[in-house]
């Protein structure tokens, strides 16, 4: 490490999307504060994925020190629910994290001045307190979800039934009313371990010296204003620092050196008309059931719309591939004759197995819309490219995000689910046509252009969120 650098540590979690968001934050911190040195601490579940390796490789040109912690493994027969795997990994990694932070803090030349921990690693805030360094939570989700978390104790006391059974929407300060059924998965079963983990993490937010939230006022003015107004008396300092997303030239793949996939996608898009293609992707780990895959395939075909679809092996659990990928060719699960009719014969679409270079795809002139699972990272990427959204939430906080997009911001059409939990092909056809060629799509596109312009300004050096990061860096330098 160079002398006279201000040293901070950043702790992420074993999730590709969280790692990507946190690394994007750190890159912006370094660009705005060249005096910083960052030690990036990476807990590992089972083994480091190709996705994470690719992200870490992208840090070579930045002033990062990477520490990979000893892997945490669970017996294959344990059948631990995906929602519990990150909390368990983090709790078992605490001894390694404590040793790492203590060693860094004991350095005679460049002691730590601050710790930034992912929200899902919030238990490490107590370690920062014992080392007498400043502590911050990085909240990679929306400001609306942050407001929900900070009011979790109040909600828990006010509501006696399951949230999904509430007859009226919940009014969270600064946010649009949210139906209980649209709250994050962790709130859907109040007796579950997942819910208790949520309450524990939300209380830990109050211990931090500050919270960095991956959003900006132009996108969530109501939620951010409410948070800033309440911070003096109730909460730690709130710093809107978004949008933090991958940018072209950093890293865009979750497979190392998968250049053939990149080239095929982009070459195919180069041949398509401007704004004519719908990009279909459910994030880094979202999966559909076999029945739902069949309905989506039929809906895409009947829509008559050009599409680029990232296909995964079907699974009845929507987050089945969140931590582990599949080596099975997912295209074999498509309906009989679909590839021959829709891909080979008519050229209506392009199918990509498991992964595609999303950053480059979303910025391509041929893309006219994004059918997405509504992960916050994908939403911000869509905003930065001014793309209208078809909201198809699967798990975590994605239903709440979909409500914010469709009911609040009016920049998305949300798919309707039938009584069996399936989005039928007829519904898929209607929503695709509304967004891609209908008047509603034109209105959404105009609104998205406004949001894109604001988001681009935030990434400039004089943007308010960039200034928040610069101000933090200066505060750390002066300690």
Q: Report the chain's mean pLDDT, rounded to a whole number.
A: 92
Q: What is the pLDDT of residue 211?
A: 98
Average pLDDT over residues 254-267: 64
| 230-to-225, 366, 447 alpha-carbon distances in Å | 9, 44, 29
Average pLDDT over residues 262-280: 95
Reported confidence tier of residue 322, pLDDT bands at 50, 70, 90: low
Tell me the per-residue pLDDT of 364-375, one tens digit each, with 9 for 90 and over: 999 999 999 999
Reported confidence tier of residue 254, pLDDT bands at 50, 70, 90: very low
Tell me the per-residue pLDDT of 162-214, one tens digit each, with 9 for 90 and over: 999 999 999 999 999 999 999 999 999 999 999 999 999 999 999 999 999 99
Q: What is the pLDDT of residue 151?
A: 95
Q: What is the pLDDT of residue 405?
A: 98
Residue with tokens 């669970």: 74
Reported confidence tier of residue 252, pLDDT bands at 50, 70, 90: very low
Reported confidence tier of residue 76, pLDDT bands at 50, 70, 90: low
- Residues annotated as catalytic are 18, 118
Average pLDDT over residues 292-296: 98
Provide the residue ranges of all domains of the chain, joining segments of one domain with +: 6-247+460-477, 259-455
Report which of 146, 148, 91 is spatially closest to residue 124, judged by C-alpha positions. 91
Tell me the per-residue pLDDT of 78-94, one tens digit each, with 9 for 90 and over: 678 777 899 999 999 99
Supply the pTM of this predicted model.
Answer: 0.94
Q: What is the pLDDT of residue 392?
A: 98
Average pLDDT over residues 36-57: 89
Range of weakest confidence among 105-109, 148-152, 221-225, 358-362: 105-109
Average pLDDT over residues 427-456: 97
Reported confidence tier of residue 249, pLDDT bands at 50, 70, 90: very low
Is residue 307 scored above 70 in pLDDT?
yes
Range of weakest confidence among 13-22, 99-108, 244-253, 282-291: 244-253
Q: What is the pLDDT of residue 103?
A: 95
Q: What is the pLDDT of residue 248?
A: 55
Assign domain 259-455 to a CATH class. alpha beta
Classify burial at 464, counting beta carbons within 10 Å of its beta carbon; exposed 0-12, middle 13-18, buried 19 or more: middle
* 8 Å CB contact between 291 and 422: yes
Q: Of all residues in the chain, what percent carry a pLDDT higher than 70?
A: 94
C-alpha to C-alpha distance for 240 and 7, rounded to whole angstroms: 22
Average pLDDT over residues 40-46: 95
Tell me the per-residue pLDDT of 95-152, one tens digit each, with 9 for 90 and over: 999 999 999 999 877 789 999 999 999 999 999 999 999 999 999 999 999 999 999 9
Is residue 327 scored above 80 in pLDDT?
no
Range of weakest confidence among 48-57, 78-87, 212-221, 319-328: 319-328
| 395-to-128, 201, 204, 282, 302 alpha-carbon distances in Å | 31, 18, 23, 11, 27
Is residue 288 scored above 60 in pLDDT?
yes
CATH topology match: 6-247+460-477 vs 259-455:
yes
Report which of 270, 226, 253, 271 is spatially closest to residue 310, judged by C-alpha positions. 253
| 108-to-8, 54, 69, 96, 327 alpha-carbon distances in Å | 15, 33, 23, 21, 48
Q: What is the pLDDT of residue 335?
A: 97
Report which of 295, 290, 282 is spatially closest to residue 391, judged by C-alpha positions. 282
Average pLDDT over residues 430-447: 96
Average pLDDT over residues 417-440: 97
Q: Of all residues in the chain, what percent carry a pLDDT higher than 90?
A: 82
Q: What is the pLDDT of residue 250?
A: 42
Report which of 455, 434, 422 is spatially closest to residue 390, judged by C-alpha positions. 434
Q: Check: CATH 3.30.465.10 for 6-247+460-477? A: no
Is residue 3 scored above 80 in pLDDT?
no
């Amino acid at each position: 490490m160079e002398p006279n650098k201000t040293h901070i540590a950043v702790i992420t979690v074993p999730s590709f999307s969280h790692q990507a968001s946190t690394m994007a934050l750190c890159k912006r911190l370094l660009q705005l504060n060249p005096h910083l040195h960052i030690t990036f601490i990476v807990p590992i579940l089972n083994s480091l994925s190709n996705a994470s390796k690719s992200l870490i490789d992208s840090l070579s040109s930045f002033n990062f020190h990477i520490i990979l912690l000893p892997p945490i493994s669970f017996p294959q027969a344990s059948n631990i629910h995906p929602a519990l795997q990150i909390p368990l990994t983090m709790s078992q990694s605490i001894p390694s994290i404590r040793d790492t932070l203590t060693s860094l803090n004991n350095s005679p030349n460049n002691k730590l001045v601050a710790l930034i921990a992912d929200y899902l690693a919030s238990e490490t805030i107590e370690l920062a307190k014992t080392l007498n360094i400043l502590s911050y939570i990085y909240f990679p989700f929306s400001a609306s979800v942050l407001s929900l978390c900070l009011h979790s104790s109040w909600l828990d006391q006010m509501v006696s039934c399951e949230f999904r059974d509430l007859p009226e929407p919940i009014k969270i300060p600064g946010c649009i009313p949210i139906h209980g059924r649209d709250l994050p998965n962790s709130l859907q079963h109040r007796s579950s371990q997942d819910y208790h983990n949520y309450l524990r993490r939300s209380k830990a937010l109050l211990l931090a010296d500050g919270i960095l939230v991956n959003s900006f006022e132009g996108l969530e003015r109501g939620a951010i204003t409410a948070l800033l107004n309440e911070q003096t008396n109730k909460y730690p300092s709130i710093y809107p620092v978004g949008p933090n997303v991958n940018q072209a030239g950093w890293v865009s793949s979750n497979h190392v050196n998968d250049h053939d996939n990149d080239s095929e996608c982009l070459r195919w898009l180069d041949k398509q008309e401007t704004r004519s293609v719908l990009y279909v992707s459910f994030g880094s780990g979202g999966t559909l059931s076999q029945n739902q895959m069949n309905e989506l395939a039929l809906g895409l075909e009947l829509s008559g719309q050009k599409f680029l679809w990232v296909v995964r092996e079907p699974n009845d659990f929507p987050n089945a591939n969140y931590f582990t990928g599949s080596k099975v060719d997912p295209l074999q699960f498509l309906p009989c004759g679909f590839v021959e009719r829709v891909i080979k014969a008519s050229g209506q679409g392009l199918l990509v197995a498991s992964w595609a270079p999303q950053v480059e795809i979303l910025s391509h002139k041929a893309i006219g819309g994004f059918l997405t699972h509504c992960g916050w990272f994908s939403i911000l990427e869509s905003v930065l490219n001014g793309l209208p959204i078809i909201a198809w939430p699967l798990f975590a906080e994605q239903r709440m995000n979909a409500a914010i997009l469709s009911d609040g911001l009016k920049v998305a059409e949300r798919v309707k689910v039938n009584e069996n939990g399936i989005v039928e092909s007829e519904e898929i056809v209607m929503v695709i046509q509304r967004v891609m060629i209908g008047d509603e799509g034109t209105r959404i596109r105009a609104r998205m252009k406004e949001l894109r312009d604001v988001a681009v300004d935030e990434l400039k050096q004089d943007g308010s969120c960039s200034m928040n990061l610069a101000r933090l860096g200066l505060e750390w330098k002066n300690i």
